[in-house]
Amino acid sequence: MIRLDPDRDILCVTDVQPTFMPGGELPIADGAAVVPIINRLLSEVFEHALATQDWHPTNHASFADSHPGHAPFSTVVMPYGPQTLWPRHAVQETSRAALHPALRTARLEIILRKGFRRQIDSYSAFFENDRTTPTGLDGYLNARGFRRLFFSGLATDFCVAWSAEDAARLGYTAFVIEDACRAIALPLPAGGTTLSTAHAHLTRLGVQFITSDALAPV
């Protein structure tokens, strides 16, 4: 059992938006199932929480239809490196880009929008996909004194994984709450999936994978 420290621990709610759920533009299988689990964590377990929100302009460079001749889930090389191309999703000011209407937001102390720069994607809560342009979250967390970050939301193998990786590299203790996340799990040419690769990579960095029942309320 992990006993939480109200001065150091914060729940990170990643991209819990209808755009990533069945019926959305980039649906993740069983994506809506994270909402009740996260709501319990928000209302019964954590004293502090933040959320991220994917927030793209209509012509974002990560959209497949911004690259004629390229299909969704193919890869192109951008100035900052390889970029998976996605169906158009999380478009600013649309209802499916909003946080899920059933999400209990009263406990969220900050909502960080990412992916709003047209020419660069942003998976991590800490940096754009060039891995150098900061979102400002590191400064916020340091100013507040948080040192252990508990990640939930969508998707385990992309925005959750990149955020947990950057958290570990920045010196935080990072946890992924597996039952409060769902993955895209794209197959990879060399075998395995984006989920299995992310899990192995994060484990090497010291990120801990837990379930929500391992957390003792503050």
CA 131, 57, 26, 101 torsion-angle sign: positive
How far CA 52 is from CA of 12, 68, 168, in Å, comes to 8, 30, 18
57 backbone dihedrals φ, ψ, rounded to 5°: -70, 160
Say which of 114, 121, 157, 166 is annotated catalytic.
114
Is 15 noted as a catalytic residue in this protein?
Answer: yes
Is 114 noted as a catalytic residue in this protein?
Answer: yes
* Calpha distance 148→78 (Å, rounded): 33
Say which of 9, 12, 15, 166 is annotated catalytic.
15
Residues constituting the chain = 218
Is 181 noted as a catalytic residue in this protein?
Answer: no
* Calpha distance 159→118 (Å, rounded): 18
Say which of 157, 159, 166, 181 is annotated catalytic.
159
Active site residues: 15, 114, 159
